[in-house]
């Protein structure tokens, strides 16, 4: 797997971006005329991941100044988008307006902290596996680097738990699978000794996650 990803990394990312773009189009079509908060949150997360992947893919061709500016946006969007997974879980479970408001307060606090962490992240430019991209430098405040890392994993847990509940209620496996794929691929890099490829392996999990979002939204629409 390692050799394949290092030798074909850009091609893999192109395929993943096509999947995410197709998912985004599908979600926007579902949301047209309905204004579903669930589908809107799914679309925002998908758009953020699409932007993230596009910057990584195109980094080799960008001037360093522009790459750093767009990469700052990557970290900022990461901090803002990941808490939306909490809202996706809440809406998928049928949260009413008052309950959703409480979840939004919590998500808003997480987003504010995530945005601050993204803005405070110091960037280093690295060239590896066919990509020139920005990563968090050693000068990044420890809490900011740690917060963004933990946020990615922590926000997946509600998807998994909420998905288990929906399966018990016989409402489909897709919310559960979205969290499971994201969690599994995030752990796959360290588990296989490929922590330097975690950014690429994790992107596979992200594409599978948003694909499951779309399948869940379609099923919910039919129901």
Please tell me the distance from the alpha carbon of residue 178 to that of residue 197, in angstroms, as a whole number: 21
CA distances from 115 to 23, 46, 78 (A): 25, 18, 8
Q: Which residues of the chain have pLDDT under 50?
A: none
Q: What is the pLDDT of residue 51?
A: 97
Q: What is the pLDDT of residue 202?
A: 94
Phi, psi of 133 (to 5 degrees): -145, 165
Structure tokens at 11: 């091609």
Cα-Cα-Cα-Cα dihedral sign, residues 55, 56, 62, 68 = positive
Q: How far apart are the first and last CA of the chain?
A: 39
Structure tokens at 29: 């079509």
Rounded to 10 deg, the angle between the 84-92 and 198-222 helix axes is 30
Please tell me the distance from the alpha carbon of residue 162 to that of residue 183, in angstroms, as a whole number: 14
Burial of 52 (0-12, 13-18, 19+ CB in 10 A): buried
Q: Tell me if 100 sits within 8 A of 91, measured CB to CB.
A: yes
Q: What is the pLDDT of residue 3?
A: 86
Q: What is the pLDDT of residue 148?
A: 95
- State the residue for tokens 């926000």: 155
**pLDDT tens, position by position, 150-177:** 998 899 999 999 999 999 999 999 999 9
Q: What is the pLDDT of residue 31?
A: 87
Domains of the chain in start order, with CATH, are: 2-218 (1.20.1070.10)
Q: What is the pLDDT of residue 190?
A: 83
């Amino acid at each position: 797997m390692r050799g394949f990803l290092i030798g074909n990394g850009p091609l893999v990312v192109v395929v993943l971006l096509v999947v995410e773009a197709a998912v985004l189009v599908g979600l926007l079509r579902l949301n047209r005329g309905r204004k579903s908060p669930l589908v809107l949150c799914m679309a925002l997360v998908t758009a953020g991941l699409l932007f993230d992947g596009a910057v990584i893919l195109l980094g080799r061709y960008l001037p360093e100044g522009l790459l750093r500016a767009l990469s700052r946006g990557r970290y900022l969007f990461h901090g803002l988008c990941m808490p939306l997974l909490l809202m996706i879980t809440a809406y998928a479970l049928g949260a009413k307006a008052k309950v959703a408001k409480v979840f939004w307060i919590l998500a808003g606090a997480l987003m504010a902290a995530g945005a601050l962490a993204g803005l405070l992240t110091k960037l280093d430019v690295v060239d590896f596996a066919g990509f020139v991209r920005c990563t968090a430098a050693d000068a990044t405040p420890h809490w900011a680097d740690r917060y963004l890392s933990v946020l990615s994993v922590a926000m997946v847990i509600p998807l998994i738990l909420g998905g288990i509940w929906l399966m018990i209620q016989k409402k489909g496996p897709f919310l559960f699978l979205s969290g499971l794929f994201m969690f599994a691929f995030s752990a796959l890099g360290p588990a296989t000794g490929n922590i330097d490829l975690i950014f690429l392996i994790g992107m596979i999990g992200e594409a599978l996650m948003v694909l499951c979002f779309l399948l869940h939204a379609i099923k919910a629409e039919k129901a």
